[in-house]
Amino acid sequence: MYVLEMVNISKEFPGVKALDQVNFKLRKGEIHALCGENGAGKSTLMKVLSGLYPAGTYSGDLLIGGEKKEFHNIVDAEKAGITIIHQELALVKDMTVGENIFLGAEPQRHGVIRWDELYHNAALWLKRVGLNISPNTKIGSLGIGQQQLVEIAKALSKHTQILILDEPTAALTESEVAILMNILNQLRSEGVSCIYISHKMPEVFELADSITVLRDGQTVTTLDRHETNDDQVVSLMVGRELTERYPRVEHTPGEIVLQVKNYNVWHPEKRDQKVIEDVNFTLRKGEILGIAGLMGAGRTELVSSLFGAYEGRATGEVLIEGKPVRIRSVTDAIEAGFALVSEDRKRQGLVMNMDVKTNTTMAAMSKVSKLGVINENEEIRWGLRYVQDLKTKTASLETAVGTLSGGNQQKVVIGKWLMSDPKILIMDEPTRGIDVGAKYEIYHLMNQLVEQGVAIIMISSELPEVLGMSDRILVMSEGEFVREFDWREATQENIMQAATGGK
Ligand SMILES: Nc1ncnc2c1ncn2[C@@H]1O[C@H](COP(=O)(O)OP(=O)(O)OP(=O)(O)O)[C@@H](O)[C@H]1O
Ligand SMILES: [Mg+2]
């Protein structure tokens, strides 16, 4: 007996067949992983299911508990017990946790909101998800992981029977991931069904009962977790064998391109508090320097400060090719030869309503314009080049980046910074939300750049990626560099040990 059947679902956007006769069945009390490459149609399928794309904007049938249903909006779907937690979280930042949980469903009497009851109930739901915070807390002051849990509390308060999580762990710390997994296991034992979208295979195999693979908008197959393995799922996703995950090549580092001496960064608001303390390092041409550490170790603060994009004050010396530089803004940084592929593509990377080619050329205008006049042919030429190099899935170069799938947006960010011909390319969680096949393409591209003499700093929370790609690894903890490893001596264990406080 299935709680949900999606039958022959098709959906088109201008120039894209996002879903092509997709079939998907969900059992009661199972965790069902939905896997597929970037742009395969995962999020679109879930938007159909959750009423975000109303009946009539797609073809095919939805059956809930064997009964045909039509949803005209999200509320219809919620009434049928379906809640989605989106890839990009959607809580209202300056409302409290309690207000967010009961937004649009506030307990009322005679048209007056009963705040006592609201906060009392909110506290109970927070407890359910193991969140030890007051329901009066403002959402904006919570980290991503806690916001995620608030979203789940909100879903539970609606007595959800089918919970959809679209890449829920992309921005979570290890301990937050563990909490989330516990909650999902608990929900499963209570009979709640869960659809779980993730590019992280270890997670999928730890959690899921069954796995459905989508490719190019079609269902490839549904497998029982115990009857399959990581390699099989990956090859079904990408349509070929992917034997090697990290294309390591020996690099021969050249001269020093960047020196950072006695670098300190202060918190933008708590002005007597340092977020980076006395950091020293050098970077050579043609090497990949990995920076590992737990979330909150200060890695993003360090690189965004070097890039002129952090509000807190910084002191210390930065030398590029032996010459001291003063970087006060992102423009200064780009001028000096830096590029930063940011972890937060929405805030720092892309203009969502502008098209692919404009976003690609944005940081290298001089290559496509003369005397302030943009040469459209040049724009197209460059745009096309990075779409091809990175295999970005887009209907055209004129497509607004906001309509691309999450992973394909990230590829546009990468293309944009590659085009700026940096001396020093900083990549902060470069493959977050990127599928395994595309990751490989990006690693390959990194190797090519390094061979041309570019120096790369890569921050990553995925240790296999740090270990697989870096020539040297620096470990950060509480704003300081605590260890340095050559890649040959680094292991997951010794990096974790250093990251968790062992100096
Ligand atoms: N609103 C939209 N307008 C136009 N095209 C869209 C829109 N939403 C999705 N698409 C296209 O539909 C296809 C499927 O996108 P979808 O977001 O479902 O992929 P996904 O499997 O979730 O990928 P990812 O892993 O990168 O998140 C993509 O080619 C995407 O560009
Ligand atoms: Mg998606």
Q: Compute, in angstroms, the gap from residue 45 CA to the centroid of ligand 2.
A: 9
Which residue out of 20, 22, 38, 44 has the highest number of ligand 1 atoms within 8 Å of its CB and is therefore the one to mutate? 44
Output the CA–CA distances (angstroms, integers) from residue 466 to 40, 72, 100, 379, 457, in the order listed: 27, 45, 37, 34, 11
Q: How many CA atoms lie within 13 A of 46 on its CB side?
A: 26
Spatial contact of 213 and 238, defined as CB atoms under 8 Å apart: no
* Closest C-alpha residue for ligand 1 atom 19: 39
Q: Which CATH superfamily is domain 2-238 in?
A: P-loop containing nucleotide triphosphate hydrolases (3.40.50.300)
- Res. 2: pLDDT tops 60: yes
On whether the CB atoms of residues 218 and 21 are closer than 8 A, the answer is: yes
| Residues 154-172, mean pLDDT to the nearest whole number | 88
In single-letter form, the type of residue at position 135 comes to P
Q: Of 264, 261, 265, 275, nearest to 318 (Cα)?
A: 261
pLDDT-derived band of residue 328, with 50, 70 and 90 as boundaries? very high
372 CB-near residues (< 8 Å, 6+ apart) = none
Please say whether the beta carbons of 3 and 166 come within 8 A.
Answer: no
Mean pLDDT score of the chain? 91
Task: Tell me, rounded to whole angstroms, the distance of Cα 447 from its chain centroid.
Answer: 22
Residue nearest to atom 24 of ligand 1 (CA): 38
What local confidence, expressed as pLDDT, does residue 271 receive?
85
Amino acid residing at 247: P
166 CA distance to ligand 1 middle (Å): 13
Q: Which residues are CB-contacts of 262 (< 8 A; sequence separation ≥ 6)? A: 278, 279, 280, 315, 316, 317
- Ligand 2 centroid to Cα of residue 121, in Å, is 32
By three-state DSSP, how is residue 308 classified?
A: coil
**8 A C-beta contact, residue 138 and residue 146:** no
Give the residue whose CA is nearest to atom 18 of ligand 1: 41
Instruction: From the CA of 44, give the closest atom in ligand 1.
Output: 18
Spatial CA neighbour of 167 closest among 151, 156, 154, 190: 151
CA distances for 340 relative to 303, 457, 466, 469, angstroms: 8, 9, 17, 18
Q: Does residue 169 have a pLDDT over 70?
A: yes
pLDDT at 503 > cutoff 50: no
Structure tokens at 480: 């300081």
Ligand 1 atom nearest to 42, measured from its CA: 21
The pLDDT score that the predictor gives to residue 242 is 73
502, pLDDT greater than 60 = no
Q: What pLDDT, on a 0 to 100 scale, did the predictor assign at position 347?
A: 64
Q: What is the pLDDT of residues 114-153, one digit of tens each?
A: 999 999 999 999 998 888 899 999 998 887 778 888 998 9
The answer to which of 63-67, 345-349, 423-427 has the lowest mean pLDDT is: 345-349
- Distance, in Å, from the CA atom of 219 to the CA atom of 433, rounded to the nearest integer, reads 20
Q: What are the tens digits of pLDDT across the range 301-320? A: 999 999 999 999 999 999 99
Ligand 1 pocket (Cβ < 6 Å) reads 13, 16, 18, 36, 38-44, 393, 403-408, 435
- Residue-wise pLDDT tens digits, 113-123: 999 999 999 99
CA pseudo-torsion sign 85, 202, 210, 22? positive
Q: Which amino acid type is present at position 107?
A: P
pLDDT digit string, tens, across residues 186-209: 999 999 999 999 998 889 999 999
Mean local confidence (pLDDT), 372-394 = 92
Residue with tokens 């607004």: 400
Measured in Å, residue 41 CA sits from the centre of ligand 1 at 6
CA 168 to chain centre: 9
Nearest residue (by CA) to ligand 1, atom 25, is: 38
Q: What is the pLDDT of residues 334-372, one digit of tens each?
A: 999 999 998 776 666 789 999 999 999 998 988 999 888
- Shortest CA distance to 387 belongs to which of 397, 379, 378? 397
And the tokens for 64?
A: 């809930």
Give the whole-angstrom CA distance, residue 13 versus residue 458: 35
pLDDT at 486: 95
pLDDT value, residue 346 = 67
Residues of each domain in the chain carrying CATH 3.40.50.300: 2-238, 244-337+423-503
Determine the straight-line distance between the first and last CA of the chain, rounded to whole angstroms: 55
Q: Is the pLDDT of residue 233 over 90?
A: yes
Residue 245 is classified by DSSP as S
CATH of the domain spanning 244-337+423-503: 3.40.50.300
Q: pLDDT tens digit string along 14-31?
A: 888 999 999 999 999 999
Mean pLDDT computed over 84-95: 82
378-402 in b/e form (b: 16+ CB < 10 A) is ebeebbeebbebbebbbeebebebe
E-state strands within 399-454? 424-428
Residue-wise pLDDT tens digits, 435-458:
888 888 889 889 999 999 999 999
- Kindly give the interhelix angle for 406-419 and 376-389, rounded to the nearest 10 degrees: 120
What are the strands of the beta sheet with 288-293, ordered from one edge?
Answer: 338-341, 424-428, 455-459, 288-293, 472-477, 480-486
Task: Compute the radius of gyration of the chain from its Cα atoms.
Answer: 24
345: DSSP letter: I
**CA–CA separation, 25 vs 155, rounded Å?**
21
The residue whose two tokens read 């997994």 is 181
Question: Which amino acid is residue 459, in one-letter code?
Answer: I
Residue with tokens 């404009």: 358
Binning pLDDT at 50, 70 and 90, where does residue 501 land? confident
DSSP state of 222: E
Residue-wise pLDDT for 486-495, tens only, equals: 999 999 999 9
Provide the pLDDT for residue 395: 92
The kind and range of the H/E element at 314 are strand 314-320
Residues in the chain, overall count = 503
